Amino acid sequence: MAPKKNGMSYLHHEKPDILCIQETKCSDDKLPPEVNVEGYHCYWLAGDKDGYSGVGLLSKEKPISVQYGIKMEKHDSEGRVITAEYEKFYLVTTYIPNAGRGLVRLDYRQEWDKDFRSYLKKLDEKKPVVLCGDLNVAHEEIDIANPKSNKKNAGFTKEEREGFSTLLSEGFVDTFRHLYPEQKGAYTFWTYMMNARAKNVGWRLDYFVISTRFADHLCDSVIRKDVYGSDHCPVTLFLHV
């Protein structure tokens, strides 16, 4: 994995207190030195399968503790979750499984959603939770450019959307939609095909989700649609804590 120039430039421009990265596709022994950025405490998790999945977390403040995975063997081999504990909240960065072409992993995705929801709720019993990452679901029709033609495609199935609805109904808030419930054309992913990004034919797959009781701390949630370097763009969260 070579760190993309745009990625490092974005980091230096945004100067986030915490940066979460998904789908790193890089084993620990192949991480280039540049990704361990000066001024940040850096944490990386790779899946057992080389070149697949993976997440990272860079934090200016050293977390109280860091946990890798959700302590469930059937899920943790893919390197999808890092949890960092801070004084007032838990931060969870995740790359949620894609249901796959032909929905070959939809059953597994439903298992994941149930188990991951349970994990988040247990954290929330202790401290508020800030969840971020590629959640691989466009929740409502407003979150996808072509809802009618995608209802049987991974990321917009009834099962995946209902899984996300269940999470929200059990004490969590989609920060962007909480602030901007009617905003159309707000996407975070565009396929590389058919000039989709220039036409803004996209999906909102990347989220910040927070505990409902933490919503009073929410200042803004912004999609950085003008930042290039991937088929996804960054999303940002501003909290007063």
Q: Which residues are annotated as a binding site for Mg(2+)?
A: 23, 134, 136, 231-232
Give yes or no: 95 in active site: yes
The secondary structure of residue 6, as a DSSP letter, is H
Q: Which residue in the list 10, 40, 95, 207 is annotated as catalytic?
A: 95
Q: Which residue in the list 113, 119, 124, 134 is annotated as catalytic?
A: 134
Alpha helices in the chain (DSSP H): 5-14, 73-76, 106-124, 158-169, 175-179, 196-199
Q: Which residue in the list 90, 143, 187, 232 is annotated as catalytic?
A: 232
Give yes or no: 108 in active site: no
Give yes or no: 174 in active site: no
- The strand order across the sheet containing 55-59 reads 18-22, 55-59, 41-45
What CA–CA distance (Å, rounded) separates 18 from 39?
A: 11
The secondary structure of residue 62, as a DSSP letter, is P
Q: Are 230 and 237 in contact (CB under 8 A)?
A: no
Annotated binding site: 23, 134, 136, 231-232
* Tokens of residue 225, six digits: 């649609």
* Other Cβ atoms closer than 10 A to 48: 11
**Longest CA–CA separation in the chain, Å:** 46
Q: Which residues contact 128 (CB under 8 A, 6 or more apart)?
A: 88, 89, 90, 210, 211, 213, 214
The catalytic residue positions are 95, 134, 232
